[in-house]
Structure 1
Amino acid sequence: MSGSRITFIEGQADQPQALERVIAHVRRQLTGAGHDRLRTAKRPLFAGIGASYAALAVPVDVLRAHGVVSQRVLSSEIEEGTYGFDTDLLIGISQGGRSSETIAAFKEAGDVPNVAVLNVLDSPLGTLADMTVDLGNEPDSYASTIGFTGTIVALDLIAGAIAGRAASYDPWHGMAAQLTAVREQAAQVIGGLQARAARCIAADVVAAGASRASAEEGALLLREVVRMPAAASVTRNYLHGEMESAGNTLHIVFGDGREIELARSLAAAGHCTLLVTSQQVASTGSLGVVCLPDVATGPRVVLETVVLQELVAALSTERDIPIESFVFANDDTKEGGVNPEDFAIASPVVA
């Protein structure tokens, strides 16, 4: 990957200003020439892998709310073409532009027009794409901070363009200040839970709608940063039996509806629970609550992700696991294999 590699902690600190740059950079691209195809799309198909796939819950939710038919798939599902998918625009996401599955999907998409959403524009996927939307080659951490939240920004703005959202509507105004305030609150709340949470043997992350992006990213961060087995679940599905395995488990719940009662039920049964909501809910002994401002879909997912980042950083410290110490280097997931620069900070061998 070209562009600078920074630590996770640096990514957290730099994120408010970086997202302001990303917002302005993506807006300039979408108002410029060459992106009219986005505004005429009727059936967009979003594809990604890993954290990029998680992020795609946001544009799908935004577009469906506007009556636009859309869906997300793992890039590996269309490595042999888009047969069986009724789509008029393929939108692929890969922050570094080297995800082998997304590159394969673009190569086999046939006559379907495509758009690549990237942080690193000069990349294999960027070269393949008919159109590109990039974040501006922002420095990012290996366990992504700015790259993921910046991708949420870009996907929300792209969805707004496809849906015909009014140009005067600005869901991203004041994001830097909101992000900073939520991070400070999260640090206080998590500080009261982190010793107990670090002793948990697994985690469940639960959400619905666009916040499924937060849940899936949260489970991934807990696995790759904290080395804690974790799973993401949809709220209503979690209620249908999945929650019965609750034991020495950390529960992170996002939402304002049934999620509140769910979080309270888990905490009342003695399980360590973190609720992230825009409603006023009181914390208890086993329940920590981070209260978000009432914001639109995309900004909310960014703020939820900021809470997750604070949580995994705290648990990494509590469990004495260096954040950048990755164990497995799978060289078939990136075009050209693993880039040694990605491991310049990391230590792939852990005692």
Structure 2
Amino acid sequence: MSGSRITFLEGQAGQGAALERIAARVRTRLAGPEPAALRTARRPLFTGIGASYAALAVPVQHLRAAGVVTQRVLSSEIETGTTGFDTDCLIAVSQGGRSCETLAAFQRATPGTTKTALLNVAASPLGDLADLTVDLGGEPDSYASTIGYTGTVVALDLIAGALTGRPDTEDPWRRIAERTTAVHRQAIEVIAGLRERGARCIAADAVAAGASRASAEEGALLLREVVRMTAAASVTRNYLHGEMESAGNTLHLVFGDGREIELARSLSGAGHLTLLLTTADVEAAGQLAVVRLPRCADAVRVVLETVVLQELVAQLSAERGVPIESFVFANDDTKEGGLDMADFEVAAFSPEG
């Protein structure tokens, strides 16, 4: 687990300042001599499970755009080893470093592959197996992750920047606290206008392309684990090929500036509640709610999209009377050493307190 547990709402409130700290820490770590093998990797393979896997869409998109051969894969798919993957550097993400599937992937990685662990807690079973660790500094986090997830996105972008030799002048994280505060303020107002209708929806679809696939996947996960709403994530072009036909008393989260705008208008025009997160000048109307994001780097955009998602699930859980941290299932085979029941002891509070 992280250094200590905080509530979901505390995570929201302290997120901007925490991301500033994380960015500074990871920059310093990557500038040192130890990450040389990471900076010179030519075929990185990213792995994780759950929210960590979702976050990996960010560096994969960045690196592919720069011509680097890479992909992300669920840790459970390489528990038996990395044979069949052309990689010289396996980069695994696990906040607490105890995810069983990710540990198995490291244990069975092809000899000679540099094993890099991105963690919140450096002293961990995964950290012990790694050739190199990059950590967020043991930031306190909520059980349904807030700071831990967005901090991971920040760190992954900085790692991708190190792999591509991005100059310091192009570092996109200098104003992240200011930006998260501004977007959160807007999200509170926009979501307040749809929370009653949204809470009555029976399911949700989250749709995006590129790096924002991380947001769609994280959004679906948060709706499932916080709001207990059935939710799925889809890629924009695939969603158009039949998946959208099941719309009906559903909430639609659409991320993007291209085909996503027309998609959002089509869904809302057919009477389906839709929240569009875009940098484009799109007006809200009827069943269409809009959060306008600033133009920024893809990774920063994903963090800002996540800020909106966190506010969405906080308000919907309150409207539905579901305590945010009241998890139903405690699977004891997903973490090395079993579950730490202290993770469940932090009291949950509704947005109204």
The TM-score, its normalising length taken from structure 2, stands at 0.97
Aligned amino acid, residue 164 of structure 2: A
SS in 1 for 2:206: strand
| 1:28 is aligned to 2:65 | no
SS in 1 for 2:253: strand
Question: How big is the shift at 1:341?
Answer: 1.2
Question: How big is the shift at 1:2?
Answer: 5.0
Contact 2:107-2:129 within 8 A present in 1 as well = yes
SS in 2 for 1:80: coil
Aligned residues with identical type, % of pairs = 72
Partner of residue 326, structure 1: 327
SS in 1 for 2:102: helix
Aligned amino acid, residue 77 of structure 1: E
Partner of residue 151, structure 1: 152
Partner of residue 267, structure 2: 266
CA–CA distance in 2 between the matches of 1:84 and 1:243? 35
Partner of residue 15, structure 1: 15
SS in 2 for 1:225: helix
CA–CA distance in 1 between the matches of 2:195 and 2:283? 18
Contact 1:326-1:346 within 8 A present in 2 as well = no
Partner of residue 4, structure 1: 4
Contact 2:2-2:95 within 8 A present in 1 as well = no
Partner of residue 351, structure 2: none
Partner of residue 171, structure 1: 172
Equivalences, count: 347
CA–CA distance in 1 between the matches of 2:344 and 2:265? 41
Aligned amino acid, residue 15 of structure 1: Q
CA–CA distance in 1 between the matches of 2:114 and 2:39? 13
CA–CA distance in 1 between the matches of 2:20 and 2:347? 28
CA–CA distance in 1 between the matches of 2:165 and 2:331? 40
Aligned amino acid, residue 76 of structure 1: S
CA–CA distance in 2 between the matches of 1:305 and 1:167? 25
Structure 1, unmatched stretches of 5+, are none
Aligned amino acid, residue 147 of structure 1: G
| Residue-by-residue CA offset, 1:263-308 (whole Å, 9 max, x unaligned) | 0000000000000001110001100000000000110000000000
Partner of residue 71, structure 1: 71
Partner of residue 212, structure 2: 211
Which range moved further: 108-117 or 215-224?
108-117
CA–CA distance in 1 between the matches of 2:338 and 2:304? 33
| Residue-by-residue CA offset, 1:196-217 (whole Å, 9 max, x unaligned) | 0000000000000000000000
CA–CA distance in 2 between the matches of 1:65 and 1:167? 19
| 1:94 is aligned to 2:94 | yes
SS in 2 for 1:147: helix
CA–CA distance in 2 between the matches of 1:248 and 1:230? 12
RMSD: 0.8
| Residue-by-residue CA offset, 1:205-234 (whole Å, 9 max, x unaligned) | 000000000000000000000000000000
How is 1:248-287 mapped onto 2 (pairs within 5 angstroms)? 248-287=249-288
The TM-score, its normalising length taken from structure 1, stands at 0.98
How is 1:289-304 mapped onto 2 (pairs within 5 angstroms)? 289-304=290-305
CA–CA distance in 1 between the matches of 2:40 and 2:182? 38
Aligned amino acid, residue 296 of structure 1: A
SS in 1 for 2:234: strand
CA–CA distance in 2 between the matches of 1:167 and 1:36? 17
Question: How big is the shift at 1:168?
Answer: 1.9
Partner of residue 186, structure 2: 185
Question: How big is the shift at 1:346?
Answer: 6.0
Aligned amino acid, residue 134 of structure 1: D
How is 1:93-132 mapped onto 2 (pairs within 5 angstroms)? 93-111=93-111, 112-132=113-133
CA–CA distance in 2 between the matches of 1:286 and 1:277? 16
Aligned amino acid, residue 13 of structure 2: A
Aligned amino acid, residue 10 of structure 2: E
Aligned amino acid, residue 109 of structure 1: A
Aligned amino acid, residue 88 of structure 2: D
Question: How big is the shift at 1:343?
Answer: 1.0
SS in 2 for 1:115: strand
CA–CA distance in 2 between the matches of 1:184 and 1:236? 31
CA–CA distance in 1 between the matches of 2:320 and 2:122? 37
CA–CA distance in 1 between the matches of 2:193 and 2:255? 19
